[in-house]
Structure 1
């Protein structure tokens, strides 16, 4: 039994490192887009390579408001994704195998589900906006799939409710003993 516990602890440690890497990576990507976005106002040529080949120069030349709105959607979605990974790192630091069901963990899980739901909503708005831009400018701008966020939000919300029930059962068992 001790071997399984050791393996689980190692897996949780590795997962925590991976989530920190993902969080830092998303923060760097968000920062890079924000910095290049700011530079694009001083040097319009920067809009040609906003981030890893993302070329929004034609949109910037057509209408600065459209440009600002599209980049804002991108940044908001990236920030929300980064926030989810940050919350996951918080959960992984609070979980103990001896007492896994804690109300604090359940609340963070519920918070993650709300952030994922919000990400889905912002993603849907972003997709609608890029569709509108297509009609307005005739250009296709990248908009990612958002269906996954809704599914993940529902799944994490269910898990948070299971954790809340686990906390209740664990508390009842402690009172019984």
Structure 2
């Protein structure tokens, strides 16, 4: 039910950006998800692969889960008062919601967590690595559980956990970062062009 996806990330946004200067992101995940070629604000809020955008005939049922409320609820549960949470603006606010989280005792780390009806992702701006989960069901408890897993991984990273590796580029000189984080005995891998999600 849940798969992972990752692609090239955008330029690194600052985690202490003022509200009026917050970076704007437009889904699908950074670098365009080919499974959502024409997502737009229609009756399914653009969250379905079947969606062809505003003005089209979309057969997707109306969304029954308040994704924005779910995101804020889970983030509030996972990140306590030692973290600073700000809303990430988006041109697709009707169906895509995001927050940026950092520690108030700044350690140079930040995380951006976003959620739509059918996918959610976590992005580490200073490394430009990410991981994406897909969930096409209409069961709120399952979506919430997956989102919580994602938040717990980011919380561990923000606390200073995780191992940052450098991998050789395949076709060019130099290296690219990859992040390994272990949560509850399970290892997550985040990269720029790959990600690995453990089964719960």
TM-score of the superposed pair, with normalisation by structure 1: 0.27
Q: Which has the higher strand share?
A: 2
- Name which one, 1 or 2, has greater alpha-carbon Rg: 1
TM-score of the superposed pair, with normalisation by structure 2: 0.25
Q: Which has the higher helix share?
A: 1
